[in-house]
Amino acid sequence: MRLDKFLKVSRLIKRRTVANEACDAGRVLINGKTAKASAAVKEGDIIEIGFGGKAVKVKVLDVQETVRKDDAKELYEYIV
């Protein structure tokens, strides 16, 4: 699955266009490397997103095309 779509489906970023812009600005890393919006996301990947002054780091647990809002948090886990 594309990175921008995963960020939207998992609700880490609210809209796909915003996810796309964050990737273009270089604020999204997959496994420590800057990632484009079209990068493939698979289970076990570590995604780091820079939001202003803080960064969010998550591990991908599952990749699904569509998910209900309540189940979206089951696609990833936060890493401290």
State pLDDT tens for residues 4-28: 999 999 999 999 999 999 999 999 9
For residue 22, give every residue at least 6 positions away whose Cβ sits within 8 Å of its Cβ, in sequence order, or none: 7, 13, 28, 49, 50
Q: Is the pLDDT of residue 52 over 90?
A: no
Architecture of the CATH domain 3-78: Roll (3.10)
pTM above 0.85, yes or no: yes
In the chain, what are the domain boundaries? 3-78
Q: How far apart are CA 80 and CA 20, in angstroms?
A: 25
